[in-house]
Structure 1
């Protein structure tokens, strides 16, 4: 798939000597939802700010749709919409006028019909004449997104877009992001809600200590690093495991009433069907079974621990 953002050798060192980013190389595909994950201070916001032209890089190049962010800054900024973490807005401006003003900043002609569509999509149309200071926190977050979309960008950065919002609004925003992706908009998302990335992202990037430590398709990441386990509730208490089951490395509960089989693609252990046949041959019956799979959050935490 064609890249819409190409980042090559990007580093950022502040005057204090703090190195926020070190040799970042990353390709973001056109029309995907890309989740950039990392702990506080990992460099997520710094990287986004560089791409958006807010922070100057120390080294490296960034191309947005083939345009250099330095030489062609007007073009690249017109392609990008940014929803920042902070709830910033002109407290005395109306919702509609704030969006119209944002559109005008990028040299776009007035288009009340488009502004209306954006506000309706974000359930803000009924608040179009309200001033920002009259809005709730969730509504202010929606307004930030509306302003970012006002000039019809083809790339949208969402920096912690659902921080501090309720569950209903979070799910509404997820649906909106999916619709934008279906319309061809590329979405780059940073979030502390790993569930959010698991629900929405096509690909996952993990940054830690200013370095990219992993970039992977979400489904492939879950397949390669996700742990699965099968839990069997036994019919009778089992005092010890027969030797013919040693190859499964089963875990027996202390009361002997439950067996747990952990399997994944890396371990290349035998499949569940083989285990059930061998249990039957050993005369071990079970009354119930349950399967579980590790979440993206489990994988994320595990990767960060490995890098410490």
Structure 2
């Protein structure tokens, strides 16, 4: 773990360089590999060739969407872990992704929704309702909203919503055909319109996350001590819930329910910088897109000329990492 500010800043700079390298690789590799020199030529002197079209019109918007969605998923996971003091929490485990996905499927099946903008509205509604319901049910009893209760409620609600979503999808062939790629979590066939639609919401969520970092450090010490330090507990919790809703809702609307990103990356950040949210969140903003971009690139290569959805790749990576996190709980605990 890096303890000095200079060391943490240097580590963040290294992560930024790695992210830049991953972006370049995502533009060069896929069903068709393109030399880096041709990638540069396509970006600086577009000539309408096939390679230039693949790079500039297909892979660049996809890479930027992976950048935004990765940051959104990672930071939403970091916020939920800090708020619930549960190192094994993420938007998927607490039902946020399931709620957002369920709302989109209901919108497609019964309201005839078809565009990303329409998906976005339903996704936000589902994320808000699910987040509120999990917190209310998890707060029942004398103990209040304990990490264990929130996790159990979230997992149970996710299972119920997933079951209903599966039933609706399987009973309606048109919905199944429209949602099969989205439901697995995919960045394929997403253009600049999708990126521009979700970017304002993701940007607003990231700003709120950064603003909540300092009071979250105080809340981690306990509510009583946080109050004595002047932290606004209710205000911070509302800010975090709004940020998670914006981030998880926008990411799910754009790319479908992608799991494990919000669980893994905050742990990796804590291994390097400790429990300070003022560093965890910036590290997560940079490192989560690295995971998603690499997963998306791998998914385009392993089944060439077909593609493996990025949500499936992150699940393959996430299962063993989850086991590792459970075994090393003291190392990455909050």
TM-score class, shorter-chain normalisation, is: under 0.3
Q: Please identify which structure carries the higher helix content.
A: 2
What TM-score do you get using the length of structure 2 for normalisation?
0.21
What TM-score do you get using the length of structure 1 for normalisation?
0.22
Q: Please identify which structure carries the higher strand content.
A: 1
Larger Rg: 1
